[in-house]
Protein backbone atom coordinates (compact mmCIF):
# COMPACT_ATOMS: atom_id res chain seq x y z
CA UNK A 1 0.00 0.00 0.00
CA UNK A 2 1.34 3.43 -0.97
CA UNK A 3 2.21 6.16 1.48
CA UNK A 4 0.75 9.58 0.69
CA UNK A 5 1.69 13.10 1.73
CA UNK A 6 -0.12 16.40 1.31
CA UNK A 7 1.62 19.64 0.32
CA UNK A 8 -0.18 22.97 0.68
CA UNK A 9 0.93 26.31 -0.80
CA UNK A 10 -0.48 29.51 0.75
CA UNK A 11 -0.13 31.95 -2.15
CA UNK A 12 -0.92 35.61 -2.67
CA UNK A 13 -3.81 34.89 -5.05
CA UNK A 14 -4.75 31.34 -4.11
CA UNK A 15 -4.23 28.20 -2.04
CA UNK A 16 -2.93 25.11 -3.86
CA UNK A 17 -2.97 21.59 -2.47
CA UNK A 18 -1.44 18.42 -3.89
CA UNK A 19 -1.76 14.79 -2.86
CA UNK A 20 1.56 13.02 -3.40
CA UNK A 21 2.13 9.26 -3.72
CA UNK A 22 5.66 8.25 -2.70
CA UNK A 23 5.63 5.68 -5.53
CA UNK A 24 3.91 7.57 -8.35
CA UNK A 25 4.18 11.28 -7.64
CA UNK A 26 1.20 13.66 -7.67
CA UNK A 27 -2.14 11.88 -7.91
CA UNK A 28 -4.53 14.77 -7.19
CA UNK A 29 -4.39 18.54 -6.87
CA UNK A 30 -6.70 21.50 -6.49
CA UNK A 31 -6.61 25.23 -5.92
CA UNK A 32 -8.90 27.80 -4.34
CA UNK A 33 -8.77 31.58 -4.76
CA UNK A 34 -7.56 33.90 -2.03
CA UNK A 35 -8.43 37.56 -1.71
CA UNK A 36 -5.73 40.22 -1.73
CA UNK A 37 -6.77 43.30 0.28
CA UNK A 38 -5.15 46.66 -0.53
CA UNK A 39 -7.21 49.15 1.47
CA UNK A 40 -4.62 51.91 1.04
CA UNK A 41 -1.83 52.58 -1.49
CA UNK A 42 1.04 50.16 -0.88
CA UNK A 43 -0.91 47.93 1.50
CA UNK A 44 -1.15 44.18 0.89
CA UNK A 45 -3.11 41.96 3.29
CA UNK A 46 -4.85 38.58 3.37
CA UNK A 47 -7.34 36.86 5.66
CA UNK A 48 -5.84 33.87 7.54
CA UNK A 49 -9.33 32.46 8.12
CA UNK A 50 -9.77 32.21 4.36
CA UNK A 51 -6.46 30.34 4.11
CA UNK A 52 -7.59 27.80 6.70
CA UNK A 53 -11.00 27.33 5.07
CA UNK A 54 -9.27 26.79 1.72
CA UNK A 55 -6.95 24.20 3.27
CA UNK A 56 -9.73 22.28 4.99
CA UNK A 57 -11.84 22.10 1.85
CA UNK A 58 -8.97 21.25 -0.47
CA UNK A 59 -7.66 18.40 1.70
CA UNK A 60 -11.04 16.71 1.60
CA UNK A 61 -11.24 17.34 -2.14
CA UNK A 62 -7.90 15.75 -3.12
CA UNK A 63 -8.56 12.71 -0.93
CA UNK A 64 -11.95 12.29 -2.55
CA UNK A 65 -10.62 12.80 -6.08
CA UNK A 66 -7.91 10.17 -5.57
CA UNK A 67 -10.36 7.79 -3.87
CA UNK A 68 -7.86 6.82 -1.18
CA UNK A 69 -8.38 6.00 2.47
CA UNK A 70 -7.58 9.07 4.62
CA UNK A 71 -5.44 6.80 6.82
CA UNK A 72 -3.00 6.43 3.91
CA UNK A 73 -1.95 10.07 4.35
CA UNK A 74 1.19 9.97 6.49
CA UNK A 75 2.02 13.69 6.72
CA UNK A 76 1.03 17.24 5.82
CA UNK A 77 3.45 20.10 5.11
CA UNK A 78 2.87 23.74 4.18
CA UNK A 79 4.63 26.41 2.18
CA UNK A 80 3.78 29.99 1.34
CA UNK A 81 4.76 33.58 0.85
CA UNK A 82 7.53 34.91 3.08
CA UNK A 83 7.94 36.77 5.32
CA UNK A 84 4.26 37.54 5.80
CA UNK A 85 3.50 38.76 9.33
CA UNK A 86 0.54 37.60 11.41
CA UNK A 87 0.26 38.61 15.07
CA UNK A 88 -1.28 35.74 17.03
CA UNK A 89 -2.31 35.16 20.63
CA UNK A 90 -0.81 32.53 22.94
CA UNK A 91 -2.97 29.81 21.34
CA UNK A 92 -1.77 30.75 17.86
CA UNK A 93 -5.03 32.44 16.83
CA UNK A 94 -4.68 35.38 14.40
CA UNK A 95 -5.49 38.81 15.83
CA UNK A 96 -5.82 40.61 12.48
CA UNK A 97 -5.31 40.12 8.77
CA UNK A 98 -1.88 38.99 7.59
CA UNK A 99 0.45 41.75 6.41
CA UNK A 100 2.06 40.31 3.29
CA UNK A 101 5.67 40.43 2.22
CA UNK A 102 5.03 43.01 -0.52
CA UNK A 103 3.25 45.42 1.82
CA UNK A 104 4.87 48.86 1.78
CA UNK A 105 3.21 50.68 4.68
CA UNK A 106 6.14 50.88 7.09
CA UNK A 107 8.26 53.40 5.17
CA UNK A 108 8.73 55.75 8.12
CA UNK A 109 9.69 52.84 10.37
CA UNK A 110 12.22 51.58 7.82
CA UNK A 111 13.88 55.00 7.76
CA UNK A 112 13.88 55.24 11.55
CA UNK A 113 15.34 51.78 12.09
CA UNK A 114 17.90 52.28 9.32
CA UNK A 115 19.18 55.34 11.16
CA UNK A 116 19.20 53.54 14.52
CA UNK A 117 21.07 50.56 13.04
CA UNK A 118 23.44 52.53 10.82
CA UNK A 119 26.47 51.08 12.59
CA UNK A 120 25.20 47.47 12.41
CA UNK A 121 26.19 45.42 9.35
CA UNK A 122 22.81 43.78 8.83
CA UNK A 123 23.78 42.22 5.51
CA UNK A 124 26.72 40.38 7.05
CA UNK A 125 24.76 39.36 10.17
CA UNK A 126 21.36 38.46 8.70
CA UNK A 127 22.00 37.97 4.99
CA UNK A 128 19.83 40.91 3.92
CA UNK A 129 19.51 44.66 4.29
CA UNK A 130 16.70 46.40 6.16
CA UNK A 131 13.88 46.72 3.59
CA UNK A 132 10.11 46.70 3.23
CA UNK A 133 10.34 42.90 3.55
CA UNK A 134 11.96 43.08 6.99
CA UNK A 135 9.69 42.21 9.90
CA UNK A 136 11.01 44.75 12.44
CA UNK A 137 9.54 47.83 10.66
CA UNK A 138 6.17 46.08 10.32
CA UNK A 139 6.19 45.15 14.01
CA UNK A 140 7.02 48.73 14.92
CA UNK A 141 4.17 49.95 12.70
CA UNK A 142 1.78 47.57 14.47
CA UNK A 143 2.92 48.77 17.89
CA UNK A 144 2.25 52.41 16.93
CA UNK A 145 -0.88 52.09 14.83
CA UNK A 146 -2.67 49.11 16.37
CA UNK A 147 -1.54 49.14 20.01
CA UNK A 148 -4.51 47.13 21.27
CA UNK A 149 -3.73 44.26 18.90
CA UNK A 150 -0.01 44.50 19.58
CA UNK A 151 -0.58 44.31 23.34
CA UNK A 152 -2.34 40.94 22.87
CA UNK A 153 0.29 39.55 20.51
CA UNK A 154 2.15 36.50 21.83
CA UNK A 155 4.01 35.65 18.61
CA UNK A 156 4.63 36.93 15.10
CA UNK A 157 4.14 34.05 12.66
CA UNK A 158 4.50 33.57 8.91
CA UNK A 159 1.81 32.46 6.45
CA UNK A 160 2.54 28.75 6.16
CA UNK A 161 3.56 28.47 9.82
CA UNK A 162 0.23 30.01 10.80
CA UNK A 163 -1.66 27.39 8.77
CA UNK A 164 0.34 24.52 10.26
CA UNK A 165 -0.36 25.97 13.71
CA UNK A 166 -4.07 26.16 12.90
CA UNK A 167 -3.97 22.48 11.97
CA UNK A 168 -2.58 21.58 15.39
CA UNK A 169 1.16 22.37 15.55
CA UNK A 170 2.63 24.53 18.30
CA UNK A 171 3.47 28.13 17.24
CA UNK A 172 6.77 28.19 15.34
CA UNK A 173 8.50 29.82 12.38
CA UNK A 174 10.40 28.04 9.63
CA UNK A 175 14.12 28.61 9.14
CA UNK A 176 13.75 30.76 6.01
CA UNK A 177 11.06 32.97 7.55
CA UNK A 178 13.52 33.59 10.35
CA UNK A 179 16.34 34.26 7.90
CA UNK A 180 14.36 36.67 5.73
CA UNK A 181 12.70 38.42 8.67
CA UNK A 182 15.92 40.22 9.58
CA UNK A 183 15.30 39.39 13.26
CA UNK A 184 17.80 36.52 13.37
CA UNK A 185 21.44 35.99 12.50
CA UNK A 186 22.32 33.65 9.64
CA UNK A 187 23.19 31.04 12.28
CA UNK A 188 19.59 31.20 13.57
CA UNK A 189 19.87 33.04 16.89
CA UNK A 190 17.94 36.32 17.54
CA UNK A 191 19.77 39.54 16.68
CA UNK A 192 19.46 41.70 19.81
CA UNK A 193 20.45 44.92 18.04
CA UNK A 194 17.38 44.75 15.79
CA UNK A 195 15.05 43.67 18.59
CA UNK A 196 16.22 46.55 20.77
CA UNK A 197 15.90 49.13 18.00
CA UNK A 198 12.31 48.02 17.31
CA UNK A 199 11.45 47.58 21.02
CA UNK A 200 10.60 43.94 20.36
CA UNK A 201 10.58 41.39 23.17
CA UNK A 202 12.46 38.22 22.19
CA UNK A 203 9.59 36.25 23.75
CA UNK A 204 7.54 37.27 20.69
CA UNK A 205 9.84 35.16 18.51
CA UNK A 206 8.45 31.66 18.11
CA UNK A 207 10.84 28.67 18.01
CA UNK A 208 12.68 28.27 14.70
CA UNK A 209 12.27 24.87 12.99
CA UNK A 210 13.89 23.44 9.84
CA UNK A 211 12.25 21.86 6.77
CA UNK A 212 11.44 18.23 7.45
CA UNK A 213 10.96 18.57 11.21
CA UNK A 214 7.67 17.43 12.71
CA UNK A 215 6.13 20.51 14.32
CA UNK A 216 3.11 18.78 15.84
CA UNK A 217 0.12 16.63 15.00
CA UNK A 218 -3.36 17.18 13.60
CA UNK A 219 -5.82 18.31 16.25
CA UNK A 220 -9.15 16.63 16.94
CA UNK A 221 -11.03 19.62 15.54
CA UNK A 222 -9.04 19.60 12.31
CA UNK A 223 -9.22 15.82 12.02
CA UNK A 224 -12.99 16.14 12.04
CA UNK A 225 -12.99 19.02 9.56
CA UNK A 226 -10.50 17.54 7.08
CA UNK A 227 -11.28 13.85 7.42
CA UNK A 228 -7.63 13.01 8.10
CA UNK A 229 -6.70 10.75 11.02
CA UNK A 230 -6.19 12.34 14.41
CA UNK A 231 -2.50 13.04 15.13
CA UNK A 232 -1.39 12.99 11.49
CA UNK A 233 2.18 14.41 11.56
CA UNK A 234 2.49 18.10 10.60
CA UNK A 235 5.87 18.65 8.95
CA UNK A 236 7.64 22.00 8.54
CA UNK A 237 7.83 22.94 4.86
CA UNK A 238 9.37 26.23 3.80
CA UNK A 239 9.17 29.45 1.84
CA UNK A 240 7.28 29.18 -1.44
CA UNK A 241 10.09 30.44 -3.65
CA UNK A 242 12.57 28.08 -1.97
CA UNK A 243 10.35 25.02 -2.32
CA UNK A 244 9.35 25.95 -5.86
CA UNK A 245 13.05 26.00 -6.76
CA UNK A 246 13.62 22.71 -4.93
CA UNK A 247 10.72 21.09 -6.79
CA UNK A 248 11.99 22.49 -10.11
CA UNK A 249 15.31 20.69 -9.81
CA UNK A 250 17.40 23.64 -8.61
CA UNK A 251 19.80 21.41 -6.80
CA UNK A 252 23.36 21.58 -8.11
CA UNK A 253 25.62 24.62 -7.74
CA UNK A 254 24.74 27.13 -10.50
CA UNK A 255 21.22 25.84 -11.26
CA UNK A 256 18.81 28.79 -11.32
CA UNK A 257 15.09 29.42 -11.53
CA UNK A 258 12.80 32.21 -12.69
CA UNK A 259 9.50 31.89 -10.81
CA UNK A 260 6.52 33.74 -12.27
CA UNK A 261 4.12 33.81 -9.35
CA UNK A 262 2.10 36.70 -7.92
CA UNK A 263 5.48 38.21 -7.07
CA UNK A 264 8.60 37.42 -9.10
CA UNK A 265 11.43 35.29 -7.71
CA UNK A 266 14.84 34.37 -9.06
CA UNK A 267 17.02 31.87 -7.19
CA UNK A 268 20.36 30.17 -7.75
CA UNK A 269 21.76 27.16 -5.89
CA UNK A 270 25.09 27.76 -4.20
CA UNK A 271 27.46 25.68 -2.12
CA UNK A 272 28.27 28.79 -0.09
CA UNK A 273 26.17 31.49 1.61
CA UNK A 274 26.47 34.67 -0.49
CA UNK A 275 25.33 37.92 1.08
CA UNK A 276 24.77 41.28 -0.60
CA UNK A 277 22.54 44.19 0.40
CA UNK A 278 20.66 44.00 -2.92
CA UNK A 279 19.66 40.34 -2.51
CA UNK A 280 18.17 37.88 -0.04
CA UNK A 281 19.74 34.70 1.25
CA UNK A 282 17.76 31.54 1.93
CA UNK A 283 18.71 28.07 3.04
CA UNK A 284 18.08 25.26 0.59
CA UNK A 285 15.95 22.44 2.07
CA UNK A 286 18.92 20.13 1.58
CA UNK A 287 21.21 20.79 4.56
CA UNK A 288 24.42 22.64 3.72
CA UNK A 289 23.18 24.23 0.50
CA UNK A 290 22.11 27.87 0.00
CA UNK A 291 19.89 29.95 -2.28
CA UNK A 292 20.94 33.56 -2.86
CA UNK A 293 17.93 35.13 -4.51
CA UNK A 294 15.86 38.13 -5.41
CA UNK A 295 12.15 38.86 -5.14
CA UNK A 296 10.30 41.52 -7.10
CA UNK A 297 7.14 42.96 -5.58
CA UNK A 298 5.03 42.22 -8.67
CA UNK A 299 4.96 39.65 -11.45
CA UNK A 300 1.73 37.76 -12.05
CA UNK A 301 -0.11 40.28 -9.86
CA UNK A 302 0.80 43.02 -12.35
CA UNK A 303 -0.47 40.92 -15.25
CA UNK A 304 -3.75 40.38 -13.41
CA UNK A 305 -4.01 44.12 -12.74
CA UNK A 306 -3.58 44.86 -16.46
CA UNK A 307 -6.11 42.15 -17.32
CA UNK A 308 -8.69 43.76 -15.03
CA UNK A 309 -7.91 47.18 -16.53
CA UNK A 310 -8.89 45.96 -20.01
CA UNK A 311 -12.14 44.40 -18.84
CA UNK A 312 -10.99 40.93 -17.85
CA UNK A 313 -9.94 39.89 -21.36
CA UNK A 314 -8.69 36.31 -21.62
CA UNK A 315 -4.91 36.12 -21.15
CA UNK A 316 -4.51 33.76 -24.11
CA UNK A 317 -6.08 36.37 -26.38
CA UNK A 318 -3.88 39.09 -24.91
CA UNK A 319 -0.85 36.89 -25.57
CA UNK A 320 -1.94 36.31 -29.17
CA UNK A 321 -2.36 40.05 -29.75
CA UNK A 322 0.97 40.90 -28.11
CA UNK A 323 2.78 38.23 -30.13
CA UNK A 324 2.11 40.34 -33.24
CA UNK A 325 3.71 43.47 -31.78
CA UNK A 326 7.38 44.33 -32.03
CA UNK A 327 9.63 43.91 -28.98
CA UNK A 328 10.18 46.86 -26.65
CA UNK A 329 8.03 49.39 -28.54
CA UNK A 330 7.08 50.73 -25.09
CA UNK A 331 8.80 50.52 -21.74
CA UNK A 332 7.09 49.70 -18.45
CA UNK A 333 8.49 50.01 -14.94
CA UNK A 334 6.76 47.28 -12.89
CA UNK A 335 6.93 49.08 -9.54
CA UNK A 336 3.20 49.10 -8.83
CA UNK A 337 3.81 47.96 -5.23
CA UNK A 338 7.14 49.70 -4.89
CA UNK A 339 10.06 47.34 -5.43
CA UNK A 340 11.82 44.80 -3.31
CA UNK A 341 15.13 43.48 -4.60
CA UNK A 342 17.47 44.64 -5.95
CA UNK A 343 16.33 48.25 -5.36
CA UNK A 344 14.53 47.90 -2.01
CA UNK A 345 12.46 51.04 -2.51
CA UNK A 346 8.79 50.90 -1.40
CA UNK A 347 8.17 54.40 -2.77
CA UNK A 348 8.81 53.55 -6.41
CA UNK A 349 5.75 53.66 -8.66
CA UNK A 350 4.75 52.06 -11.96
CA UNK A 351 5.40 53.83 -15.28
CA UNK A 352 4.55 53.33 -18.97
CA UNK A 353 6.81 55.29 -21.32
CA UNK A 354 6.56 55.81 -25.07
CA UNK A 355 2.77 55.99 -25.32
CA UNK A 356 1.23 57.66 -28.38
CA UNK A 357 -2.19 57.75 -30.07
CA UNK A 358 -1.37 54.63 -32.05
CA UNK A 359 -0.63 52.63 -28.90
CA UNK A 360 -2.81 49.54 -28.49
CA UNK A 361 -3.58 47.38 -25.50
CA UNK A 362 -1.38 44.73 -27.15
CA UNK A 363 1.59 47.11 -27.02
CA UNK A 364 0.93 47.86 -23.37
CA UNK A 365 0.41 44.21 -22.49
CA UNK A 366 3.66 43.18 -24.18
CA UNK A 367 5.49 45.98 -22.37
CA UNK A 368 4.05 44.68 -19.09
CA UNK A 369 5.39 41.18 -19.79
CA UNK A 370 8.76 42.62 -20.78
CA UNK A 371 8.94 44.75 -17.62
CA UNK A 372 9.02 41.67 -15.41
CA UNK A 373 11.73 40.09 -17.56
CA UNK A 374 13.81 43.28 -17.34
CA UNK A 375 13.44 43.12 -13.56
CA UNK A 376 14.87 39.59 -13.58
CA UNK A 377 17.71 40.74 -15.83
CA UNK A 378 18.56 43.39 -13.24
CA UNK A 379 19.06 40.53 -10.78
CA UNK A 380 21.17 38.52 -13.24
CA UNK A 381 23.40 41.58 -13.53
CA UNK A 382 23.83 41.61 -9.75
CA UNK A 383 24.60 37.86 -9.68
CA UNK A 384 27.30 38.46 -12.26
CA UNK A 385 28.86 41.27 -10.25
CA UNK A 386 29.07 38.89 -7.28
CA UNK A 387 30.76 36.18 -9.32
CA UNK A 388 27.82 33.77 -9.11
CA UNK A 389 28.05 31.32 -12.01
CA UNK A 390 24.72 30.67 -13.71
CA UNK A 391 24.35 27.31 -15.45
CA UNK A 392 21.01 25.66 -16.28
CA UNK A 393 17.95 27.96 -16.10
CA UNK A 394 14.39 26.75 -15.51
CA UNK A 395 11.11 28.66 -15.43
CA UNK A 396 7.97 27.83 -13.45
CA UNK A 397 4.61 28.87 -12.05
CA UNK A 398 1.44 30.23 -13.61
CA UNK A 399 3.10 32.75 -15.88
CA UNK A 400 5.31 30.06 -17.42
CA UNK A 401 2.23 28.65 -19.20
CA UNK A 402 2.46 31.63 -21.56
CA UNK A 403 4.60 30.69 -24.58
CA UNK A 404 5.16 34.38 -25.34
CA UNK A 405 6.27 35.24 -21.80
CA UNK A 406 8.74 32.34 -21.74
CA UNK A 407 10.13 33.49 -25.09
CA UNK A 408 10.47 37.06 -23.82
CA UNK A 409 12.38 35.85 -20.77
CA UNK A 410 14.73 33.72 -22.87
CA UNK A 411 15.51 36.74 -25.07
CA UNK A 412 15.76 39.37 -22.32
CA UNK A 413 17.94 37.07 -20.19
CA UNK A 414 19.88 35.71 -23.16
CA UNK A 415 19.63 32.11 -21.98
CA UNK A 416 17.70 28.95 -22.86
CA UNK A 417 14.85 28.52 -20.40
CA UNK A 418 13.78 24.99 -19.39
CA UNK A 419 10.08 24.81 -18.47
CA UNK A 420 9.24 22.36 -15.71
CA UNK A 421 6.66 19.85 -16.93
CA UNK A 422 3.44 19.62 -14.92
CA UNK A 423 5.03 21.62 -12.14
CA UNK A 424 2.52 22.54 -9.42
CA UNK A 425 5.06 24.85 -7.79
CA UNK A 426 5.93 24.99 -4.14
CA UNK A 427 3.11 22.63 -3.14
CA UNK A 428 5.09 19.74 -4.66
CA UNK A 429 8.16 20.85 -2.69
CA UNK A 430 6.10 20.80 0.50
CA UNK A 431 4.75 17.33 -0.28
CA UNK A 432 8.26 16.01 -0.97
CA UNK A 433 9.51 17.43 2.33
CA UNK A 434 6.53 15.92 4.17
CA UNK A 435 7.39 12.54 2.68
CA UNK A 436 11.07 12.86 3.60
CA UNK A 437 10.15 14.10 7.08
CA UNK A 438 8.24 10.95 7.99
CA UNK A 439 10.37 8.48 6.04
CA UNK A 440 7.97 7.83 3.16
CA UNK A 441 10.92 8.84 0.97
CA UNK A 442 14.31 7.55 2.10
CA UNK A 443 16.19 10.84 1.65
CA UNK A 444 16.56 14.13 -0.21
CA UNK A 445 18.14 12.49 -3.25
CA UNK A 446 14.93 10.50 -3.79
CA UNK A 447 13.08 13.70 -4.70
CA UNK A 448 14.77 14.18 -8.10
CA UNK A 449 12.84 11.34 -9.76
CA UNK A 450 9.62 13.36 -9.58
CA UNK A 451 10.95 16.41 -11.52
CA UNK A 452 10.73 16.63 -15.34
CA UNK A 453 12.10 19.41 -17.53
CA UNK A 454 10.76 20.18 -21.00
CA UNK A 455 12.61 21.21 -24.15
CA UNK A 456 14.33 24.57 -23.67
CA UNK A 457 12.84 27.78 -25.02
CA UNK A 458 15.64 29.23 -27.15
CA UNK A 459 16.23 32.97 -27.57
CA UNK A 460 15.96 34.57 -31.01
CA UNK A 461 19.34 36.30 -31.56
CA UNK A 462 17.71 39.26 -33.35
CA UNK A 463 15.40 39.96 -30.43
CA UNK A 464 18.28 39.50 -27.98
CA UNK A 465 20.01 42.48 -29.61
CA UNK A 466 16.82 44.56 -29.41
CA UNK A 467 16.29 43.71 -25.76
CA UNK A 468 19.92 44.41 -24.88
CA UNK A 469 19.45 48.02 -26.02
CA UNK A 470 15.97 48.30 -24.49
CA UNK A 471 17.22 47.06 -21.13
CA UNK A 472 19.72 49.91 -20.94
CA UNK A 473 16.90 52.37 -21.73
CA UNK A 474 14.76 50.66 -19.08
CA UNK A 475 17.45 51.17 -16.45
CA UNK A 476 17.80 54.83 -17.47
CA UNK A 477 14.03 55.29 -17.25
CA UNK A 478 14.08 53.88 -13.73
CA UNK A 479 16.78 56.30 -12.63
CA UNK A 480 15.03 59.26 -14.30
CA UNK A 481 11.66 58.66 -12.63
CA UNK A 482 12.80 57.74 -9.11
CA UNK A 483 12.55 61.26 -7.66
CA UNK A 484 9.07 61.79 -9.13
CA UNK A 485 7.94 58.43 -7.73
CA UNK A 486 9.16 59.46 -4.30
CA UNK A 487 7.34 62.81 -4.31
CA UNK A 488 4.13 61.17 -5.56
CA UNK A 489 4.36 58.52 -2.87
CA UNK A 490 4.86 61.11 -0.16
CA UNK A 491 2.01 63.30 -1.42
CA UNK A 492 -0.48 60.40 -1.62
CA UNK A 493 0.44 59.28 1.90
CA UNK A 494 -0.51 62.73 3.17
Is the pLDDT at 398 greater than 80, yes or no?
no
**Per-residue pLDDT tens for 284-312?**
999 889 999 999 999 999 999 999 999 99
Within its chain, how far is the Cα of 394 from the centroid?
Answer: 16
φ/ψ (deg, to 5) at 278: -85, -15
Q: What is the pLDDT of residue 128?
A: 83
Over residues 163-219, the pLDDT tens digits come to 999 999 999 999 999 999 999 999 899 999 999 999 999 999 999 999 999 999 999
Confidence band (pLDDT; 50, 70, 90) for 1?
low
Angle between helical axes of 300-309 and 315-323 (0-180°, round to 10):
90
Share the mean pLDDT of the chain. Answer: 95
Q: How many Cα atoms are found within 13 Å in the side-chain-facing hemisphere of 121?
A: 5
Is there a contact between 140 and 157 (Cβ–Cβ < 8 Å)? no
Q: Are 30 and 6 in contact (CB under 8 A)?
A: no
Name every residue whose Cβ is closer than 8 Å to that of residue 367 and which is 6 or more positions away in sequence: 328, 329, 330, 331, 332, 352, 354
Contact 167, 161 (CB under 8 A): no
Whether 83 contacts 100, CB under 8 Å: no
Q: Which CATH superfamily is domain 250-419+460-493 in?
A: ATPase, nucleotide binding domain (3.30.420.40)
Residue 21 β-bridge partners = 4, 25
C-alpha dihedral (434, 213, 47, 113), degrees to nearest 10: -140
pLDDT confidence bin for 48, thresholds 50/70/90? very high
pLDDT tens column, 68-106: 999 999 999 999 999 999 999 999 999 999 999 889 899
pLDDT in tens, 255-264: 999 988 888 9
4-242: CATH superfamily:
ATPase, nucleotide binding domain (3.30.420.40)
User: What's the rounded Cα separation, in Å, for the pair 292 and 128?
Assistant: 10
The predicted pLDDT at position 104 comes to 87
Helix%, strand%, coil% for the chain, nearest 5:
40, 20, 40
Average of pLDDT values for 362-368?
Answer: 98
Q: For the chain, give every domain's residue range.
A: 4-242, 250-419+460-493
Q: What pLDDT, on a 0 to 100 scale, did the predictor assign at position 320?
A: 97
Q: What percent of the chain has pLDDT over 70?
A: 99
Same fold, 4-242 and 250-419+460-493: yes
Residue 397 reports pLDDT greater than 80: no
The pLDDT of residue 400 is above 80: no
Pairing of strands 173-174, 14-21: unpaired
Rounded to an integer, the average pLDDT of 463-491 is 97
pLDDT tens, position by position, 335-351: 999 999 999 998 999 99
Amino acid sequence: MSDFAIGIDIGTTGTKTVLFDADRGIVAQTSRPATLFSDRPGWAEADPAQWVDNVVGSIAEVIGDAAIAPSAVKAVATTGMVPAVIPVDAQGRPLRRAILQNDARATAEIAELSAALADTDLVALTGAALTQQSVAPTALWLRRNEPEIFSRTAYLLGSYDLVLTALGAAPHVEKNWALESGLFRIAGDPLDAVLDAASLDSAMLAPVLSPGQVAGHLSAEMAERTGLPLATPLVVGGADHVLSAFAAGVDEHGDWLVKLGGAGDILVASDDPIVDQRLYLDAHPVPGRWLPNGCMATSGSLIRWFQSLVGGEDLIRLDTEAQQRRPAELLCLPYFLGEKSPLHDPDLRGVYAGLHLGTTRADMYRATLEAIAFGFRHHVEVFGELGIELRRASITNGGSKSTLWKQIHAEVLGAPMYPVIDHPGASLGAALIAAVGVGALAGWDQCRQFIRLGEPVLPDPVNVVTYDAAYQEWRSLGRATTDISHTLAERTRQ
